[in-house]
């Protein structure tokens, strides 16, 4: 079965075409800068890569371009669109309602629409992606995979904020958590690599990219996570604050900042960018720190210290802890950050292997010493593969029955 995975953002759509259940990637690519005159389509099939720059007015047109290139005689991966039996969509917010991926029907669409209120920056684009796919591939089964689903197992004690309870009842203000597909993927993969049943496996997963979050996973299920009601809480991120005293907002409001400015400040101007004053990109900061820039160095240190603190917190709810897993652009590629986070934790049974940490050889690797009670691993995330797996699992019985 051919499964097309779609990740629709505000101005881009990323896609991957899978042959399932083999999990083979037949083609992948993206349309970026949707709505601009110089939108860019990048498409890879086998060893060939094509790039096209032309105006792509909206997501519907972007979907049209993606489907055209998938069946293109030279660059395409399939002969006709009817081969695409299923489309798996990344959807950021599924509220408390969706504990797993769902075949899209009117009820599911209505709920995703309802959660626009909770994720105004993400769900509208995800919806547009689903509608464009429905329009262009009316016979395909559409499946929605929610970033929040993996975290619906978090118990009340961990998801409830100490705000007046009515806010939860009235507005569903609580911790939801995000990056769930990634946390689930690397937790399952780590269990497999350690040869432990996934439902008996305890791990702390650290997704460190431009957005960053951690999850405490007990018996294969998320029991706590660093992101909250929105993806702003928790770790220091590229441009987001993570945890900070909310009274700072009242203070700044008193100084004349309005809601819009505070929102931009917390989501777009803080984090690594805010502290360093120069970049939200870890590679740039590492370079600058090496050249002696003190604020770039400070940004990296604050970033790493926050992760370390959350490891400490999550250790108290996982007994035993089998593994700590690093993933995401920074988690997978920055030995420096992993070192700052993991060194000198021997007293907790976490023994870091500095040499293994530096090795470039393997994409998946262990960076703890053989005598460490807790294995530290680097595992590249693959949210698309996880979405393709879910879409296939849900769609295969339906496709067979019809």
Residues designated catalytic = 147
In Å, what is the CA distance from 346 to each residue of 120, 215, 352, 368?
Answer: 43, 21, 8, 10
Binding-site member from 32, 97, 286, 385 for ligand AMP (CB under 6 A): 286
How many residues contact ligand AMP, by CB under 6 A? 12
Identify which of 18, 10, 16 has the alpha carbon closest to the alpha carbon of residue 35. 10
Q: Which is nearer to ligand AMP, 97 or 286 (CB)?
A: 286
CB 318 within 8 A of CB 341: no
Binding-site member from 334, 368, 372, 382 for ligand AMP (CB under 6 A): 334
For 180-249, the DSSP string reads HHHHHHHHHHHHHHHT--GGG--EEEEEESSSEEEEEEETTEEEEES--SSTTSSS--SS---S--THHH
| Residues within window 197-226 making contact with ligand AMP, judged by CB under 6 A | 209-210
The window from 37-45, 85-93, 218-226, 281-289 that contacts ligand AMP (CB under 6 A) reads: 281-289
Q: Which is nearer to ligand AMP, 2 or 28 (CB)?
A: 28
Per DSSP, helices labelled H in 26-174 are 59-70, 106-114, 123-136, 156-159, 165-171
Q: Which is nearer to ligand AMP, 63 or 288 (CB)?
A: 288
Position with the least CB separation from ligand AMP: 329
What is the spatial distance between Cα 385 and Cα 16, in angstroms, rounded to a whole number?
A: 9
Binding-site member from 137, 215, 223, 282 for ligand AMP (CB under 6 A): 282
CB 42 within 8 A of CB 65: no
Place of tokens 């870091």: 352
Give me 258's structure tokens.
């309005």
| Using rule CB under 6 A, residue 329 touches ligand AMP | yes
Q: How far is the CB of 98 from ligand AMP (least distance, A)?
A: 24
> How many helices (H) and strands (E) would you count in the chain?
15, 14
Q: How far is the CB of 132 from ligand AMP (least distance, A)?
A: 24
Binding-site member from 328, 345, 379, 386 for ligand AMP (CB under 6 A): 328
What is the spatial distance between Cα 305 and Cα 284, in angstroms, rounded to a whole number?
A: 19
- 29 alpha carbon, distance to own chain's centre: 18
Directed axis angle between helix 180-194 and helix 383-401, to 10°? 90
The window from 18-26, 218-226, 302-310, 326-334 that contacts ligand AMP (CB under 6 A) reads: 326-334
Q: How far is the CB of 286 from ligand AMP (least distance, A)?
A: 6
CB 181 within 8 A of CB 389: no
Q: How far is the CB of 10 from ligand AMP (least distance, A)?
A: 15
The SS3 of residue 385 is: helix
The neighbour count for residue 28, using CB atoms within 10 Å, is 18
Q: Which is nearer to ligand AMP, 150 or 201 (CB)?
A: 150
The window from 22-30, 112-120, 260-268, 322-330 that contacts ligand AMP (CB under 6 A) reads: 322-330
| Using rule CB under 6 A, residue 389 touches ligand AMP | no
The window from 16-24, 63-71, 174-182, 325-333 that contacts ligand AMP (CB under 6 A) reads: 325-333
Q: How far is the CB of 23 from ligand AMP (least distance, A)?
A: 21
| Using rule CB under 6 A, residue 283 touches ligand AMP | yes
Interaction mask 223-242, ligand AMP, x per CB under 6 A: ---------------x----
Q: Which is nearer to ligand AMP, 45 or 300 (CB)?
A: 300
What is the spatial distance between Cα 219 and Cα 333, in angstroms, rounded to a whole number?
A: 28
Q: How far is the CB of 288 from ligand AMP (least distance, A)?
A: 12
| Residues within window 89-118 making contact with ligand AMP, judged by CB under 6 A | none
| Using rule CB under 6 A, residue 330 touches ligand AMP | yes
Sign of the CA dihedral with 128 first, then 130, 135, and 136 last: positive
| Using rule CB under 6 A, residue 333 touches ligand AMP | yes
In Å, what is the CA distance from 378 to each residue of 75, 235, 331, 356?
Answer: 34, 19, 7, 11
The window from 23-31, 147-155, 280-288, 391-399 that contacts ligand AMP (CB under 6 A) reads: 280-288
Q: Which residues bind ligand AMP (CB under 6 A)?
A: 209-210, 238, 281-283, 286, 328-330, 333-334
């Amino acid at each position: 079965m051919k499964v097309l995975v779609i990740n629709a953002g505000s101005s881009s759509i990323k896609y991957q075409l899978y042959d399932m259940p083999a999990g083979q990637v037949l083609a992948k690519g993206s349309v970026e800068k949707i709505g601009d005159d110089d939108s860019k389509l990048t498409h890879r099939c086998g060893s060939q890569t094509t790039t096209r720059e032309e105006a792509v007015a909206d997501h519907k047109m972007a979907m049209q371009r993606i489907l055209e290139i998938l069946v293109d005689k030279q660059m395409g991966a399939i002969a006709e669109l009817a081969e695409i039996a299923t489309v798996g969509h990344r959807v950021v917010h599924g509220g408390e309602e969706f504990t797993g991926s769902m075949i899209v029907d009117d009820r599911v669409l209505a709920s995703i629409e309802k959660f626009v209120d909770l994720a105004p920056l993400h769900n509208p684009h995800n919806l547009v992606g689903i509608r464009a796919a429905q329009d262009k591939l009316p016979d395909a089964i559409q499946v929605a995979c929610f970033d929040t689903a993996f975290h619906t197992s978090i118990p009340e004690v961990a998801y409830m904020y100490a705000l007046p309870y009515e806010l939860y009842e009235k507005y569903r203000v609580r911790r939801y958590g995000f990056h769930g597909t990634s946390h689930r993927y690397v937790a399952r993969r780590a269990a497999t690599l350690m040869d432990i049943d996934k439902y008996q496996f305890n791990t702390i997963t650290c997704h460190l990219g431009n957005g960053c979050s951690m999850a405490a996973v007990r018996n294969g299920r998320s029991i706590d996570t660093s992101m909250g009601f929105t993806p702003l809480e928790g770790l220091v991120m590229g441009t987001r604050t993570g945890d900070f005293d909310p009274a700072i907002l009242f203070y700044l409001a008193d100084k004349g900042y309005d809601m819009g400015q505070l929102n931009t400040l917390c989501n777009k101007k803080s984090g690594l960018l805010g502290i360093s004053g120069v970049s939200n990109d870890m590679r740039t900061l590492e370079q600058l720190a090496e050249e002696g820039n003190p604020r770039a160095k400070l940004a990296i240190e604050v970033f790493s210290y926050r992760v370390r603190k959350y490891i400490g917190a999550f250790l108290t709810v996982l007994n035993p802890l089998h593994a700590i897993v690093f993933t995401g652009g920074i988690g997978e590629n920055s030995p420096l950050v992993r070192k700052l986070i993991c060194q000198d934790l021997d007293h907790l049974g976490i023994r870091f292997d500095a040499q293994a940490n530096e090795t470039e050889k393997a994409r998946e690797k262990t960076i703890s010493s053989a005598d460490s009670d807790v294995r530290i691993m680097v595992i590249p995330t693959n949210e698309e593969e996880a979405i393709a797996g879910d879409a296939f699992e849900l769609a295969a019985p339906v496709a067979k029955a019809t």
